[in-house]
Amino acid sequence: MQLARVEGSVTSTRKHPSFAGWRLLICQPLDSDMEPGGAPVIALDSLGSGMHQTVLLTSDGAAARKAVGDEMSPARMMIIAIIDESQEDQ
């Protein structure tokens, strides 16, 4: 899984039907010292993640397909947890 920070959202009317009704959030993956690393990705969100919250992303399509309830959905990146705070051993 990947730690990321919610930094926005996208709207799309013409998309794969299994995404209908899902929030599509722009998530910026974070590296080991919680700084932006790499390009933002768009993840499905059902937890109501808020702006600038740290979340946990999964890229496991099987879990995403189950969540959207469509075994033929291309869904992949999905927010599976909202992080309170993460401790690193200094």
Partner 1 sequence: MKLGTVIGRVTLSVTSPGLDGARWLLVSPWTRDTFIHGLSDGNQITSESSLVIYDNLGGGIGDVVGYIEGREAASPFVNPPPIDAINAALIDKYFYTPRE
Q: Which residues contact partner 1 by CB under 8 A?
A: 5, 7-16, 19, 24, 26, 28, 36, 38-43, 51-52, 59, 61, 64-65, 71-77
Q: Is residue 21 a contact partner of residue 5, using CB atoms and an 8 Å limit? A: no
How far is residue 59's CA from residue 71's CA, in Å, rounded to a whole number? 16
Token pair, residue 79, equals 């927010």
Smallest separation, CB 89 to partner 1 (Å): 25
- Residue 71 or 84: which CB sits closer to partner 1? 71
- Residue 26 or 83: which CB sits closer to partner 1? 26
List 19's β-bridge partners, or say none.
Answer: none
Residues 6+ apart with CB under 8 A from 32: 88
- Residue 72 or 89: which CB sits closer to partner 1? 72
